[in-house]
Amino acid sequence: MSAVPVPASELRGRVTQARVVRSEWTKLWTVRSTNWSLFVAVILTIGFPILASAVISSHWAEHRHQGFNPLDPALVGSQIAQLAIGVLGVLVITAEYSTGMIRATLTAVPKRLPVLWAKAAVFAVVTFVLMLPSVLIAFFASQSILSAHHASYSWHHPGVARAVIGAALYLAVVAVLTVGLGAIIRNTAGGIAAFAAIFFVLPPLMNVLPTSWNNAISPYLPGSAGRAIIQLTHDSTTLAPWTGFALFVGYALLSLALGAIVLLRRDA
């Protein structure tokens, strides 16, 4: 314990967006909850399709006649993994508020917005980079199990590549949307509740509406719009793949923009 700091000249450094990205990258990997959530997301994304395909394969007689879509078991895991991604996306911000870390963060980066951009970008890229190989493994593993019954899709089947890669893209957008939710709500329980409400509570609620209303509204909800990209067949109740995905990206950017306004306006 001595009281002699090193000279200032060696340390001159400005805050840049790239440096804040680097800091947020380190933040993401130096907290246990992140490692666990992402590990769980990978396991779910790969494990569920293998399990589902194996079960389907062993009860093949029941599935043969039901208009079976081999892509359903392949991507079921990624749909469950969105829980882990969404919760972690909220936590990336709200954990800073609950622990007080946000004060250190905003003292280091008092312009504030670079922190939000960095969090969203880092988490979205990490999600996509981890989830893309996971859904690819899930697809090829499940299809090879199902191929025993000649009920699998090849990679070249129309729409398959777009749907499989789209599943990873979908999760990356969930990441951005939930980082935004965290910034808006700033509270872990509230943020997770909002995420669950948007993705899991709102869609079934639409069923109480008259069918025509339901059909008119449901495709435009964030979850269903986003999932248009991972569906092979589209009808009047679903949006076209890229239209739906573009709308989903729009929701995510809106969420991030509202989060940015809250971050700038509110006291930390």
Interface with another protein (CB under 8 A): 1-8, 10-16, 19-20, 22-23, 26-27, 30-33, 95-96, 99-112, 267-268
Q: Which residue has the tokens 């779910």?
A: 44
- Closer CB to another protein, residue 49 or residue 259? 259
Sign of CA dihedral 57, 59, 60, 66: negative
CB of 264 to another protein, least distance (A): 10
Task: Decide if 45 contacts 77 (C-beta within 8 A).
Answer: yes
Please state, in angstroms and rounded to a whole number, the distance separating the CA atoms of residues 134 and 258: 31
Task: Please work out, in degrees rounded to the nearest 5, the angle formed at the alpha carbon of residue 211 by the alpha carbons of 210 and 217.
Answer: 90
CB of 7 to another protein, least distance (A): 7
For residue 224, what is the enclosing H or E element? helix 222-227
CB of 118 to another protein, least distance (A): 9
Query: For residue 12, which phi and psi values (nearest 5 degrees)?
Result: -50, 120
CB of 86 to another protein, least distance (A): 19
- Closer CB to another protein, residue 3 or residue 61? 3
- Closer CB to another protein, residue 62 or residue 267? 267
Q: If 0-12 CB within 10 Å is exposed, 13-18 middle and 19+ buried, where does residue 11 land?
A: exposed
- Closer CB to another protein, residue 44 or residue 96? 96
CA dihedral 157, 161, 162, 165 (to 10 degrees): 160
| Amino acid, single-letter form, for residue 87 | V
- Closer CB to another protein, residue 104 or residue 209? 104
CB of 95 to another protein, least distance (A): 7
- Closer CB to another protein, residue 49 or residue 89? 89
CB of 140 to another protein, least distance (A): 36
